Amino acid sequence: MSAPRIQAVQTPRAAALQRTPQLDLLSPEAPFRLIETIGITEAQKRAKQIDALRAEANLPPIALHQVNVAHQALQDDATDISFLHHSFCSVGLPLRNQDKKDLKMWSRFDGDFSLTITPSFTTLPDGTKLHVGIPFGPKARLISLYLATAVKEPGRDPNDPYVHFGNIAAWFARMNIKLTGGEKGSITAVKEQLLRLTFANWSMWKRHPRTATTAEAGNKSRPTDVILQSERIIEAAIFDNDMLTAYARGEVSKVPWPETVALTQKALDRFRSQSVPVSTPRLQQLTRSASAMDLFLFLSYRLWRIPKGKVVTIPWQQLANQFGEHREDNEYRREFRRALCLALAAYPEATSSVEIDDLYGLSLRYADPAVPRPLMVAVDNTRNQITTNDAARSSPPAGVSPTPSNTRSPSTAPRAKMQPRSKVLVAKPNGQFTLFEPK
């Protein structure tokens, strides 16, 4: 499964290189087979050679990134789990800054779920006009992940709305976000996204799943749950007038980083009851690409729920509505293919479950969960009893042996650690997850 090459060329040398099959995107299985057959060091050397030729051909380098992501996925030792609200796994936040478009409303939808975000326009007590735009990019996604993971931390008071940010700098560094100061630094960019997440108004609507009755009556008969309706997820009171005046002047670096934020009651309830598990070490390798993050989260959330033997097809336009800018053209397809290759490098269990077609779009089949876990927990729907079963972790593509992890630095993120014979991840009948401690 290879991607079409970009057609724009500038030199005869570039044109000749673009006709070289070796410069196609590595297929989903290729990084794993390279690591298995020649080892990670030689696989990285091979990938660098491919990327050098791709750069000469005016193609974006990606092979080395694919190999490194695949290597990390194979090293995943099944102990580090984060959480994210399921809405951010169904559709993505904006990929890029939307401020220049002067949007009054931004939305994404997939036929069953819709996310709408509106920016904030207000006047401060001193008369300053404040406009806070819509959150976007990898950093907004990581802050959302941090908030939901903190809420799901074992032993936490379920009614405590406060999330402490004392260790977020170390956590972002661990998630491959290099922290730098100044107006153009990454610390300022993270604060910018936190402010946007705080002041944006969120609406989330979700249709009930299809049943035999609703299928006969058509989609209009399916009830809709309102998860949020024009509401905020963070209390805005954490920023005082002086901080917001500095922000309105464009001096984001002068806004202090808050030690604590308070979630709204609805956000707390939703994050606690509707968040799904995410493999932290796999996701951390994708944080340079918001698109790759979105697709990995979507596939992790969606694939294992597909009945075995069934094929789900998602047309190109729907993919653009879920993960793009609502445009469906050749440029978007190229970007999508690159992001998908990276997402599948983080999800070896799914390499044979995802196919892409120039005409029809994306075809999905069942795959084992991307969340690595030493214990599988089955729920007996008839007796409503929880039973635990020892099971090996999901297997990578045929012929690939997982590479053991030799070193792992301790995580500083608030996360749920899954430990055999203690707390394990439970899949409930309604598709939600919780931590369960067998007695």
pLDDT of residue 221: 63
Q: What are the E-state strand segments in 13-93?
A: 80-85
**Distance (Å, rounded) from C-alpha 85 to C-alpha 149?**
9
Residue ranges of alpha helices (H) inside 285-329 are 290-302, 316-323
DSSP string, 76-137: --S-EEEEEETHHHHS---SS--GGGT-S-EEEE-SSEEEEEE-EEEE-TTS-EEEE----H
Strands 162-164 and 201-207: unpaired
**Per-residue pLDDT at 393:** 34
pLDDT value at position 254? 86
**Burial of residue 223, with CB atoms counted within 10 A of its CB: 0-12 exposed, 13-18 middle, 19 or more buried:** exposed
* Nearest by Cα to 76 from 359, 284, 336: 284
pLDDT in 10s for each residue of the chain, 439 residues: 444 443 444 445 444 444 444 556 678 888 999 999 999 999 999 999 888 888 888 888 899 999 999 999 999 887 788 999 999 999 999 999 888 767 788 999 988 999 999 999 989 888 889 999 999 999 999 999 999 999 998 889 999 999 988 767 777 777 778 778 777 888 889 889 999 999 999 999 988 776 545 445 555 566 788 888 889 999 877 788 888 899 999 888 888 888 888 999 999 999 998 898 999 999 999 999 999 999 999 999 999 999 999 999 999 999 999 998 767 678 888 899 999 999 999 999 999 999 998 888 999 999 998 875 432 232 223 223 323 333 333 344 444 444 443 333 333 333 333 333 333 343 333 434 444 443 3
**Distance separating the N- and C-terminal Cα atoms of the chain:** 47
pLDDT confidence of residue 334? 87
- pLDDT confidence of residue 220: 58
220-223 long-range Cβ contacts below 8 angstroms, 24+ apart? none
- Residue 227 sits at φ, ψ, to 5 deg, of -75, -50
- In this prediction the pTM is 0.78
Cα 207-212-213 angle, rounded to 5 deg: 75
Count of other CB atoms within 10 angstroms of residue 162: 14
